[in-house]
Amino acid sequence: MKDNFQPPLGKISKIAGKSISLIGDDIDTDRIIPARFLKCVNFDYLAKSVFADDRKNLKGMHPFDLKSNEESSILIVNSNFGCGSSREHAPQALMRWGIKAIIGESFAEIFYSNCIAIGIPCYTLSKELIKKIQHHKSEHNLFLEIDIAKSEVKSDLLTVNLGIKESAKNMFLSGKWDATSTLLENTNLIDKKMNDLPYLKFNNKYF
């Protein structure tokens, strides 16, 4: 986990940051976070283990090890990203490494849903444009600005529309993706419901 890690909360309308590219189709959740790390009690220390086997094999040359990619927050991927098992540890590990949004050709459905549930928007873009971003040559990583309301990404290289499910976009703009915050904002409704149930009489002392 990065020292300055802060989970997203509530409404999200814009995300900006350096891009980091990961090239390859069908990158599954076992590659994102190998199974041996799933026995953790919480997600806090998964960042150091993200892509652990791939990073070991590439001996410091994996994108998540390169110094130039430090502090990157927008991940650029190819097709069927996050396929395989439905482990929620995969997006949790990416988020704790520093990823705030993912742009790819396509995503596995459960991975996509797990990302939305913790505040990571997943956008789709054409193969051609993904390749253009991934192979962008510069001494600096491409800085991207995502406008969630417009479903648009801007950079010095391009300004294009992104694909995202309308329901997911509305969840980010309204903050309803954040189930915990939504729950805490509606404690009066919880009180009312509990008082209406004859078999639950705690005098509102449920915390």
**61 and 115 fall within a common domain:** yes
**140 and 184 fall within a common domain:** no
**166 and 189 fall within a common domain:** no
Provide the edge-to-edge strand list for the sheet that holds 14-21.
122-124, 101-104, 72-76, 14-21, 143-147, 152-154, 159-161
| pLDDT value at 206 more than 60 | no
Q: What is the mean pLDDT of the chain?
A: 89
Smallest Cα–Cα separation from 171: which of 110, 102, 122? 122
Helix (H, G, I), strand (E, B) or coil at 32: helix
User: Is residue 25 in some structural domain?
Assistant: yes
Please tell me the distance from the alpha carbon of residue 102 to that of residue 123, in angstroms, as a whole number: 6
Encoded tokens for 79: 């097709």
User: Is residue 7 in some structural domain?
Assistant: no
Please tell me the distance from the alpha carbon of residue 97 to that of residue 25, in angstroms, as a whole number: 21
**72 and 145 fall within a common domain:** yes
Q: How many domains does the chain have?
A: 2
User: Is residue 6 in some structural domain?
Assistant: no
Q: Residue 59 maps to which CATH number?
A: 3.20.19.10
Mean pLDDT, range 98-114, rounded to an integer: 97
**Torsion angle, alpha carbons of 55, 58, 63, 65, to 10:** 60
User: Is residue 44 in some structural domain?
Assistant: yes
**69 and 96 fall within a common domain:** yes
In the numeric block, the tokens 């995502």 are attached to 146
User: Is residue 102 in some structural domain?
Assistant: yes
**pLDDT band of 174, cuts 50, 70, 90:** very high
- Give the pLDDT score at 1: 46
Question: What amino acid occupies position 104?
Answer: G
Tell whether the torsion through CA atoms of 98, 101, 106 and 109 is positive or negative.
positive
Element (H, E) at 54: helix 52-58
**193 and 166 fall within a common domain:** no
**162 and 80 fall within a common domain:** yes
In the chain, what percentage of residues exceed pLDDT 90?
69
Query: Is the distance from CB of 104 to CB of 130 less than 8 angstroms?
Result: yes
pTM of whole model > 0.95?
no
User: Is residue 188 in some structural domain?
Assistant: yes
Full residue range of the structural domain in which residue 154 is found: 14-176
| pLDDT value at 195 more than 90 | no
**163 and 190 fall within a common domain:** no
**143 and 55 fall within a common domain:** yes
* Residue 75: CB atoms within 10 Å: 23
48, HSE (Cβ side, Cα atoms, 13 Å): 6
Phi, psi (5° rounding) for residue 28? Answer: -95, 175
Mean pLDDT, range 133-154, rounded to an integer: 91
User: Is residue 153 in some structural domain?
Assistant: yes
**36 and 56 fall within a common domain:** yes
Please tell me the distance from the alpha carbon of residue 27 to that of residue 5, in angstroms, as a whole number: 25
User: Is residue 2 in some structural domain?
Assistant: no
**98 and 73 fall within a common domain:** yes
Please tell me the distance from the alpha carbon of residue 194 to that of residue 57, in angstroms, as a whole number: 54
**139 and 195 fall within a common domain:** no
Helix (H, G, I), strand (E, B) or coil at 124: strand
pLDDT in tens, 21-75: 999 999 999 999 999 888 876 788 899 999 999 999 999 999 999 999 999 999 9
